């Protein structure tokens, strides 16, 4: 058994405390299984459907965990986040449930649907121009200082990692209920907030379940970093449609957790991801976005592992309709 180093950013008690704070608002997402997908994979495939979480991704867990951990007067002043994606929506919705202001700084060229959703969920959106070299920090910093907003980072933030870890507590219970106690747990991996939180939860609650981060072949920083034993970065503009999980490199706080408790990583190509999205629609009745489907794509590949069962998290479902149409049509374009 691995012994946790005292230097890790969070421990199981942080995750259990986050679960208590989340209990009144979180969706306990189901663990699904389909005989069709089992047949393809040659083993049982259990799918944790985090696309059904509030705001359509697991990110709500971390956002609520971080906000609920703030002292009341600090939280009341509001929060700020830098994000073009699912973290932004999680922050906006959590703040709105708390009735506190939230500011999200987004690139001006973000997909319109993400800008609109973040606003619709209650955040003030501030845009900055990437092309002109404007930095997001410059756009948000003055405002944050002036209003006393608390910055909530998307993954390198202990209370966010603890919130994402609550998904791991549920996986441990649900897998046991379904009779699975020994399996790889494939997790779509960007900065590693979910992978690290789930890894700590499973080590405590279901030590036979082991996290393996999954990435697109062209943004495989975590896979390579785990092999190299140090944090390596991605290309500046990786060629993949899995936008939600493209990050520059593994997190400073998340990577040490993954080194101790997770891996080896798995890579999948975009064609396999689109195919998995189509199967999720037809066989699981779930909309899964590209970055949320890499773990399912890996789970469906019989060569990913030789066990009798495999678990994967479908992490998010905030996808442009044209990719849905492509997935439903069985073609990519």
Q: Which residues lie across from 158 on neighbouring strands?
A: none
Contact status: 290 vs a copy of itself (CB under 8 A): no
Q: In what order do the strands lie in the sheet with 150-151?
A: 124-128, 102-107, 79-82, 150-151
Nearer to a copy of itself, 5 or 329 (CB): 329
Under rule CB under 8 A, residue 76 binds a copy of itself:
no
Nearer to a copy of itself, 53 or 203 (CB): 53
Distance separating alpha carbons of residues 228 and 221, to the nearest angstrom: 10
User: What does the alpha-carbon distance between residue 198 and residue 164 come to, in Å, rounded to a whole number?
Assistant: 7
| Nearest CB to a copy of itself, comparing residues 56 and 263 | 56
Give yes or no for residue 49 binding a copy of itself (CB under 8 A).
Answer: yes
Segment near a copy of itself (CB under 8 A); pick from 62-70, 216-224, 232-240, 318-326: 318-326
Q: Which stretch binds a copy of itself (CB under 8 A): 1-9, 46-54, 150-158, 163-171?
A: 46-54
Q: Which of 76, 120, 138, 227 binds a copy of itself (CB under 8 A)?
A: 120
H/E element, 229: none
Q: How far apart are CA 174 and CA 15, in angstroms?
A: 17
**Part in contact with a copy of itself (CB under 8 A); list of ranges 52-60, 127-135, 140-148, 186-194:** 52-60
Looking up tokens 């500046």, which residue turns up?
A: 236
Could you please report the per-residue DSSP string of 247-283?
A: -SS--TTHHHHHHHH----EEE-HHHHHHHHHHIIII
Does position 27 interact with a copy of itself (CB under 8 A)? The reply is yes
Question: Minimum distance from CB of 91 to a copy of itself (Å)?
Answer: 14
Burial of 1 per CB tally in 10 Å (0-12, 13-18, 19+):
exposed
* Residue from the set 13, 36, 138, 252 that interacts with a copy of itself by CB under 8 A: 36
Residues near a copy of itself (CB under 8 A) are 27-30, 32-33, 35-36, 39, 49, 51-52, 54, 56, 93, 96, 120-121, 281-282, 284-288, 317, 321, 324-325, 328-330
């Amino acid at each position: 058994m691995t012994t946790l180093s005292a230097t890790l950013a969070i421990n199981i008690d942080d995750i259990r405390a986050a679960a208590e704070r989340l209990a009144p608002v979180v969706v306990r997402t189901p663990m699904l299984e389909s005989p069709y997908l089992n047949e393809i994979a040659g083993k049982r495939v259990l799918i944790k459907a985090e696309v059904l979480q509030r705001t359509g991704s697991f990110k709500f867990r971390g956002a609520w965990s971080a906000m609920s951990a703030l002292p009341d007067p600090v939280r009341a002043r509001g929060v700020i986040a830098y994000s073009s994606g699912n973290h932004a929506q999680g922050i906006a919705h959590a703040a709105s449930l708390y009735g506190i202001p939230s500011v999200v700084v987004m690139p001006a060229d973000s997909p319109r649907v993400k800008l609109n959703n973040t606003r619709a969920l209650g955040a003030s959106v501030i845009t900055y121009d990437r092309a002109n070299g404007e930095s997001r920090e410059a756009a948000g910093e003055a405002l944050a200082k002036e209003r006393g907003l608390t910055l909530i980072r998307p993954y390198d933030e202990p209370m966010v990692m603890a919130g994402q870890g609550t998904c791991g507590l549920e996986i441990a219970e649900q897998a046991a209920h379904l009779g699975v106690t020994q399996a790889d747990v494939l997790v779509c991996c960007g900065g590693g907030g979910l992978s690290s939180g789930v890894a700590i939860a499973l080590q405590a609650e279901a030590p036979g379940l082991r996290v393996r981060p999954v990435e697109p072949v062209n943004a495989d920083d975590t896979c390579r970093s785990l092999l190299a034993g140090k944090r390596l970065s991605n290309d500046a503009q990786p060629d993949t449609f899995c936008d939600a999980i493209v990050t520059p490199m593994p997190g400073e706080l998340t990577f040490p957790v993954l080194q101790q408790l997770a891996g080896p990583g798995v890579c999948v190509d975009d064609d396999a991801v689109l195919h998995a999205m189509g199967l999720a629609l037809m066989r699981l009745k779930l909309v899964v976005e590209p970055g949320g489907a890499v773990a399912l794509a890996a789970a469906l590949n019989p060569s990913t592992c030789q066990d009798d069962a495999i678990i994967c998290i479908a992490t998010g479902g905030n996808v442009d309709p044209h990719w849905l149409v492509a997935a439903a049509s069985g073609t990519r374009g």
